[in-house]
Amino acid sequence: MDDLPLQKIQISGPTLASLLQRFSSSPGDVDGLLFGRVTHIATSTFSDDDPTTTAAASSSSFDSPTLIATITSFMGSTSTSTFYDSAGRLNLLSLRRLFSDNQTLSLLGWFSGRRKTPLRPSMRESAVTSSLSSKIQFAFQVENSPKSYTFSPCVFLLLTTPFHDQLIHTHEYRAYQFRLSTESFEPQTLDVINIGPAFRGHYGAFCPNSQFPLLPCQLRVSSSMAEDENCESESLKSMERVSEDQRVLDMCAEDFDVGRLNRLIGSDAANYAGELEDMYKKMLAKLEGLAKFVEKSSARVLEQENRNMKLRYRVAGLE
């Protein structure tokens, strides 16, 4: 069984969102299995070198292929130690029972979600991943591979939460590949596949499930008189709209009509900068006067409340 390095790990946006939802809605720590595929990406190099050099380069690329792991689904539970014990040894009966429902998918690895802990694998997680990677019965073939490459389930996805409660940043995650040759984890880039032209190949052909509804289409024969009436009504609506805009504008700025404001756009804008500053000064003066009026009104309201309180005390005989 080959110990092939991964270039990166991909996961779809809905799958990651569902995984985070399962983790956040559980009462405690969770774990589960990750399913997906590993694809070989052919790297083509164009050069004018000697054919023997090109052949040597291509053979070296076959020796170290470019592999991308894509997580398509997962199977999780609301607790931990579902297919292993406290020492990290696998429970093959429980693992086969979990894996039997997804026989058509390849087992990429597993994930672990724990709260307010460092974002690095623990010794038990290392033992579980090592045991899972060494099982030959779970190895699978790499897609689009020029050679018969086999890949073992060595992907590990770690989910944690920050140490301090935060309103926006609520989850942290990191993907690893466990290398049997070195018995260690290697951090890998985790790409979230979103809908767009760059990720269109991940979704394949799309066919709508339902047809578009039938829209009623009626042919109308309009006369010249009806067209004149429509033009006249549209012109009246446009005039009313301009007058309404002018009224709102006059409430905000004095002596600035639409024609003068049009001059602020273009080459003559520098000539009217002073007038625009005067307009802002008048608006600030109005705001300051309004603030003073509100302050005086609040003082009067407080004074009236004090008078009412004294009257209530006098009526109740407390004075």
DSSP 167-188: SS---EEEEEEEETTTTEEEEE
178 and 111 Cβ atoms separated by less than 8 Å: no
pLDDT tens series, the chain, 319 aa: 567 899 999 998 889 989 998 898 888 889 989 999 999 987 655 445 555 544 444 444 445 678 999 999 888 877 776 788 888 888 888 887 776 665 677 899 999 999 888 889 999 999 999 999 998 888 889 988 878 888 999 999 999 988 776 667 778 899 999 998 889 999 999 988 875 555 656 555 555 554 555 555 554 544 555 555 555 566 666 566 656 656 665 665 555 555 666 666 666 666 666 777 777 788 888 888 888 888 888 889 889 988 888 888 888 877 6
Contact status, residue 124 vs residue 87, Cβ threshold 8 Å: yes
Cα–Cα distance for residue pair 57/70, rounded to 1 Å: 27
Q: Are 245 and 256 in contact (CB under 8 A)?
A: no
Residue 122: Cβ-neighbour burial (10 angstroms; 0-12, 13-18, 19+): middle
What is the per-residue pLDDT for 179? 92
Model pLDDT, residue 86: 83
d(CA 8, CA 70): 9
pLDDT at residue 177, rounded to an integer: 95
User: How does strand 140-141 pair with strand 150-151?
Assistant: antiparallel
* The two three-digit tokens of residue 154, written as one number: 């060595």
In angstroms, how far is CA 301 from the centroid of its own chain?
A: 50
Return all residues near 191 (Cβ < 8 A) that are at least 6 apart: 8, 9, 10, 11
Q: What are phi and psi of 141, to 5 degrees?
A: -80, 145
Rounded to whole angstroms, what are the CA distances from 295 to 129, 282, 305, 306? 68, 20, 15, 17
- Taking every pair of Cα atoms in the chain, the longest distance, rounded to a whole number of angstroms, is 112
User: Residue ranges of the domains in the chain?
Assistant: 8-202
User: Which pLDDT belongs to residue 50?
Assistant: 52
What's the confidence (pLDDT) of residue 127?
93
**Residue indicated by tokens 């047809």:** 211
DSSP state string for 40-98? EEPPP----S-HHHHHHHHHHHHHS-EEEEEEEEEEE-SSS-SSB-TTS-B-HHHHHHH
Task: Count other C-beta atoms under 10 Å from residue 109's C-beta.
Answer: 26
For 8-202, CATH gives 3.40.140.10
